[in-house]
Amino acid sequence: RLLSPSHESGSNGDDLTDLTAGKSIYMVSDGTGWTAEHSVNAALGQFDYCLVDRACPVNTHLFSGIDDVERLMEIVKQAAKEGALLVYTLADHSMAETARQACELWGVTSTDILGPITEAIASHLGVSPSGLPRWAPGRKNSLNEEYFRRIEAIEFTIKQDDGALPENLLKADIVLTGVSRTGKTPLSIYLSQKGYKVANVPIVMNVGLPRSLFEVDPEKVFALTINPVVLQTIRRARAKSLGFDDEIRSNYSEMDYVKEELEFASKIFLRNPIWPVIEVTGKAIEETAAVVLRLYHDRKNRCSMPRISKRY
């Protein structure tokens, strides 16, 4: 097996010290590659148990913007050398077919991620796929209403962060509240990228909440809670990274204080029973986001099965 001498790993670019230790997955797209990456990540979740302890380490390699046969062939050959699995999303039918055949020829196992779902949709709609990749000249411009709405939601949400402008809670689609380090900020940002204007209001022991929190439609408020032991762990990591001195740290991340503050928050939540209380312990940001959005849409859509619907 041939490996190129130096790669980098992780999104922050650390060097891979021992690439030969892992099996490779090549992801090839004529577009951004994010679809292939997302699918591979979800599938890798099924192997968490052995990725974690390094019994089966995996290296993924993302090749984006691959829209000519020459580069495609180079990648397939390199995949063959490295003994990699190759997954691809190629809109142009002949490119996808070339990938499949080249992989067969070079003995590379391959999986088409876009093809099957595109074919299913094509026969469902009774029309043919365009075969045009993201960056093809004939493609539709992205400056539509949706684009502007998303940008506005992101900008609104950044400005609102940490209760900065409480009078604007009224303009938000979703209002998050909870004690420090329940993940309000990253959750807000995640939701804003899906087009929701989000405001968040921190709860601090013995500090009053902005009156506007009780003036907004309570159906758009979501309360976050977390296990105290986990919260302490997160706060300790936070205090360390911020370089808090010992005294502040003890107040912020000591168990008595953490528990008292969570109880303080619980009492507020009990007095506002319409706010759903969402447990964030052990959840990734996108998981909490899914829970929030399911509840949000259910409330607007009481008569049908819980779902999030969109029109295209």
Ligand X SMILES: Nc1ncnc2c1ncn2[C@@H]1O[C@H](COP(=O)(O)O)[C@@H](O)[C@H]1O
Which residue in 26, 31, 99, 228 binds ligand X (CB under 6 A)?
31
Q: Which does 30 bind (CB under 5 to 8 A by kind): ligand X, a copy of itself, Mg ion, none?
A: ligand X
Element housing 187 (H / E): helix 184-193
For a copy of itself, give the closer residue by CB, 189 or 205.
189
Among 69-77, 89-97, 146-154, 239-247, the segment contacting ligand X (CB under 6 A): 89-97
35 touching Mg ion, by CB under 5 A = yes
By CB under 8 A, the count of residues binding a copy of itself is 128
Residues 62-91 that bind Mg ion (CB under 5 A): 89
Q: For residues 166 and 210, is the Cβ–Cβ distance under 8 A?
A: yes
Residues 167-186 that bind a copy of itself (CB under 8 A): 173, 183, 185-186
* 222: its two tokens: 């979501």
Instruction: Give min distance, CB of 102 to ligand X, in A.
Output: 17
Among 27-35, 52-60, 144-152, 163-171, the segment contacting ligand X (CB under 6 A): 27-35
Neighbours of 231 (CB within 10 A): 23
CA distance 92 to 129: 9
Which residues are paired to 179 by β-bridges? 203
* 143: its two tokens: 């400056």
14 touching ligand X, by CB under 6 A = no
202 touching Mg ion, by CB under 5 A = no
DSSP string, 133-148: -TT-TTPPPS-SHHHH
C-alpha distances (whole Å) from 14 to each of 36, 48, 51 are 22, 21, 18
Q: In the complex, which residues of this chain contact ligand X (CB under 6 A)?
A: 29-36, 42, 45-46, 48, 89-91, 114, 132-134, 139
